[in-house]
Homo-oligomer: A and B are copies of this chain.
Amino acid sequence: MKRLLLLACVALFATPALADEGMWTFDNFPAAAVKVKYGVTIDQKWLDDVRGAAVRLSGGCSASVVTATGLVLTNHHCVRACAQNLSTTATDYVQEGFIAAKREDEKLCSGMQAEILDGITDMTARVNAASQGKNGADYVKARDAAIAAIEKEGCNGREDKFRCQVIALYQGGQYKLYTYRKYADVRLVFAPEVSMAFFGGDPDNFNFPRYDLDFSIVRLYEDGKPAVTPTHLKWTAAEPKAGQPVFVAGNPGSTERLLTVEQLEGERDLDHPDILLMLSEFRGRLIRFSAESTEHARIAESTLFGTENSYKAYKGRFEALLDPKLMASKRVADDDLKARLKANPKLAAEIGDPWGDLAKIEAERPQLQDQYAWLEARAGYRSTLFGYARSLVRAAAEREKPNGERLREYGESRLALLQKNTLDARPVYPELEQLALEFWLSKLRENLTADGAGTKLFLGKQSPEGLAAKLATSKLSDPAYRKALWDGGSAAIKASDDPLIQFVLATDGASRAIRKIYEDRISGPADRASEKIAKARFAVYGSAGYPDATFSLRLSYGAVEGWTEKGVAVPPVTTYGGLWERATGEFPFKLPPRWTAAKGKLNDKTVFDFATTNDIIGGNSGSPLIGAKGEVLGAVFDGNIESLGGDFWYDGSVNRAVVASTAAITEALRKIYHQDGLVAELTAK
């Protein structure tokens, strides 16, 4: 048993991964292993074509270009906030769906930017040289300054169409410059009704068999016109077949497969309970808020969805962390690396004891975590207005500093997207703002205690409810006012009488101070130690493994395949026929009227959703599921419950990606939505 666990883990670095494990970078894809297992040849052209069609969406999703006319396939839940932002009390595009009858009706998704990877350049040596010999906050500062400079140089003079980003891979073992072609004008073309896209709602989320039409179509625009996109995946209405080899090109958000046991124990004991309890209470408040009126339900829609989705994902991860097999396997992996390191005294002397360093950091972390979370990392919680205020206040201050001395998220290369996010028009809902601010301030007081210095500074003698009500009156809901403050810089910020701007001005020093302490004592040293472990791994195992996910482009391989649950085989596909059986008429198993009316008009045998063995994680939402010929067979929209442990390890026997088929999408667009024009464009007929 131990031996098997050892293999499964050490495999990350020692040999090509077993099963279909791995979120591979495009410059290190194990094409030979794929050839052996699936008989498919993945050559450089295949990789280049797929890379050129794979899209990262700035909100945290993936997508793919599927026509030469800028059309992009992604998930419905990736445009859910967009659809809500475009809605009004009178028209709810989330409930009713969104259909642009003609191009002029396609509508801008506020804050959304699409990015297509153009090239990868190794910058490890340069970043390492800059941070050599430094520790704590000094290390963070030197590293971040080098990264900021690389990013600025990389896109110099072409910032309007490109974005440069340095991606840390293997926990800092490599730094690579990813250059993206960017599209800041993304417009919504088609979205089905949420009750169809998210049929089964939270109860069915992360479940399979599944019956969700979780797709949407957006279009990239350039200079006000549809972008010309000759590099694109080929749309197909062909159905996936059991056993068929398939690929996912997308941007998995983050995994923690290379963490040490001590770090995972911190995740289990400190982070996950804390996040889950926070989400759980916020969820309760939102559920009740939504029950108060149709309008409340409408404006809290995407916030509640996001909260429940995160809750369920973290819960699954927490359960994985409680599995003693997981920790045992990680311990075996840590011990193996340590033993091999010990056998190489020269390397051992160079590496030192980063595991010991991480254990010490983990022991100190609980003392700083609450302050860091509630004064800095979670400040404002989900208040849009607070987000605006902080961005404006900090951007004004940071823009006055040299690029290399700024807080990292205000570096030159990041400002354009930040500015777009801050200035794009979108609705702000004062009642929901107040709810979010109340929640944040009440948790701040609860966690820092009524007598804590942070509580006294942020709340003074005010109650969370009273202060939130005051802050929610902010004028920052007005995009023109935000633009005036962005353009006016520090002088305008200081002159502003806006209560939220004033509040952030008064408290930001304390937020920055705890952040500095945290970086100096926790995150900086932890990054440093992780870099050392990465170095040891490369030295001992070579570089045949894949790095943890970092919301950067990856390719995974696998096959259409079910699994066995408690001795019962779960088939790999569902069909439209099953949908009618599952509908009860009660939310969230209630179909939209258009669908209820259409029963009998669809081919009930069409493959609807399906499961594959591809190794994915949150952030992969919207990724194209690609056949061996580069054709797009569906949009990945979920993983099964068993996949939630995928944050920490990949278990090929049960871990499954869940996909909405282009076959079902095509059928629905034709027969339910009567979008023959859109289908013609997608199928290039």
Contacts and interface: CB of A to CB of B under 8 A. Distances in A.
Interface of A: 200, 202-204, 207, 269, 273, 276-277, 280-289, 291-292, 315, 318, 322, 435, 445-446, 449-450, 461-463, 465-466, 584-587, 589
B450 A203 contact: yes
Given A288-B288, A292-B292, A204 B450 contact: yes
Given A288-B285, A463-B587, A585-B461, A449 B280 contact: no
A614 B200 CA distance: 53
- State the oligomeric state as a number of copies: 2
A641 B120 CA distance: 53
Give the 9 A-B CB pairs with smallest separation, nearest first. A284-B284, A288-B288, A280-B280, A281-B284, A461-B584, A203-B450, A284-B285, A463-B586, A280-B281
A466 B291 CA distance: 12
A204 B446 CA distance: 9
Indicate the member of A273, A288, A445, A586 with the most B CB atoms within 10 Å: A288
20 contacts: A200-B450, A202-B446, A203-B445, A203-B449, A203-B450, A207-B450, A269-B322, A276-B277, A277-B280, A280-B280, A280-B281, A280-B284, A281-B281, A281-B283, A284-B286, A285-B285, A292-B292, A461-B584, A462-B586, A466-B586
A246 to B, nearest CB: 27
B203 A446 contact: yes
Indicate the member of A284, A286, A586 with the most B CB atoms within 10 Å: A284
A190 B268 CA distance: 47
A284 B277 contact: no
A439 to B, nearest CB: 8
A470 to B, nearest CB: 12
Contacts of A465: 291, 587
Given A281-B283, A282-B284, A461-B589, 15 more contacts: A202-B446, A203-B450, A273-B318, A280-B280, A281-B281, A283-B284, A284-B284, A284-B287, A288-B289, A288-B435, A291-B465, A461-B584, A463-B586, A463-B587, A465-B587
Contacts of A322: 269
Given A276-B277, A277-B280, A586 B203 contact: no
Contacts of A280: 277, 280-281, 284
A359 B680 CA distance: 63
Nearest to A203: B450
A521 B585 CA distance: 38
Contacts of A281: 280-281, 283-284, 287
Indicate the member of A207, A276, A285, A449 with the most B CB atoms within 10 Å: A285
Nearest to A200: B450
Contacts of A589: 450, 461
A640 to B, nearest CB: 12
Nearest to A321: B269
A366 to B, nearest CB: 9
Contacts of A284: 280-288
A425 to B, nearest CB: 29
Contacts of A291: 465
A595 to B, nearest CB: 17
Contacts of A207: 449-450
Nearest to A318: B273
A226 to B, nearest CB: 41
